[in-house]
Amino acid sequence: TSFGFQEVKEEEKSKLVGNVFTNVASSYDIMNDVMSGGLHRLWKERLVGKLSPFAGMKHLDVAGGTGDVAFRIYDAVYSVKRRALQKVDEASLEETQIYVCDINPNMLNVGKQRAAERGLRDNKSLVWVEGDAEALSFDDNSMDGYTIAFGIRNVTHIEKALAEAYRVLKRGGRFLCLELSHVEIPVFKNLYDLYSFQVIPNLGELIAGDRESYQYLVESVRRFPPQERFASMIADAGFEKVEYENLVGGVVAIHSAIKL
């Protein structure tokens, strides 16, 4: 075409690129809402509720994508302030650091854009870091909390990611993982299989124009270790008090543990 990408001025180009990311992210978010019937929001709330965020904490959200979990943690910390204004001093609030780590810079860019929309563009409590769950750039014993939501299923070596989670957490630090898991309830399992294999790829094609990715998603869920097996992998990484909670009969599970 005569309107080649080359000819677009730098400034306009970055605007175009920005729009592409926005489109990717918005179809990503719409898909999450459609596939889960909006439930992923409740699941993330539950995850953050279990974390019990506090002012001044150092937290790492791995595979943080567009900041969905991080913003919830941020809101929880800052609403703790609203609830107990007298008890939380401004200084410790400002020491709060929530690191969002993701391997995909495009996702992080969308997250940063979201932060700006929330008036948090240069907020010092939110730190965006490109990085791999299997080889984190953070110091040993540096984090009070570690979360990973719908992310660990995608890493190549789950054991490595768990070992890294253990390494970066302080003693007493909390590990929390939200992931699509396994349904074992008869009949519900059949319905869920039907939904996964028949409906999800079609939704992916219809809404995101991407059947394959959503077919892959369904297959990766099947390959992911069942709740008990994953719990023992977490224990093998050195964690204590390993527990899990099934939500919607195991469609998702939240695994939690502590580094003692």
Q: Can you list the alpha helix ranges (DSSP code H) found in 37-176?
A: 39-51, 68-83, 90-94, 105-117, 158-168
From the CB of 136, what's the least distance to ligand SAM, in Å? 9
CA 67 to chain centre: 7
- Which range touches ligand SAM (CB under 6 A), out of 64-72, 117-125, 201-209, 235-243? 64-72
CA 37 to chain centre: 18
Decide: residue 1, CB within 10 A, 0-12 exposed, 13-18 middle, 19+ buried: exposed
CB 161 within 8 A of CB 152: yes
From 8, 93, 103, 207, residue interacting with ligand SAM (rule: CB under 6 A):
103
Distances (CA, A) of 131 to 25, 66, 225: 19, 14, 24
From 35, 68, 158, 239, residue interacting with ligand SAM (rule: CB under 6 A):
68
Q: What are phi and psi of 96, to 5 degrees?
A: -55, 130
From the CB of 182, what's the least distance to ligand SAM, in Å? 18
Pairing mode, if any, of strands 252-258 and 240-247? antiparallel
Residue number, 43 or 239, with CB nearest to ligand SAM: 43
Residue number, 103 or 235, with CB nearest to ligand SAM: 103
Q: Which of residues 115-144 bind ligand SAM (CB under 6 A)?
A: 132-134
Q: How many beta carbons lie within 10 A of that of residue 199, not counting itself?
A: 14
From 19, 23, 104, 232, residue interacting with ligand SAM (rule: CB under 6 A):
104
The number of residues that bind ligand SAM (CB under 6 A) is 18
CB 225 within 8 A of CB 233: yes
Does residue number 251 form part of the binding site for ligand SAM (CB under 6 A)? no
Residue number, 28 or 188, with CB nearest to ligand SAM: 28
Residue number, 68 or 144, with CB nearest to ligand SAM: 68
CB 69 within 8 A of CB 62: no
- Which range touches ligand SAM (CB under 6 A), out of 99-107, 166-174, 183-191, 232-240? 99-107
Residue number, 69 or 242, with CB nearest to ligand SAM: 69
Give the interface with ligand SAM as residue ranges (CB under 6 A): 62-65, 68-69, 102-104, 107, 132-134, 149-151, 154-155
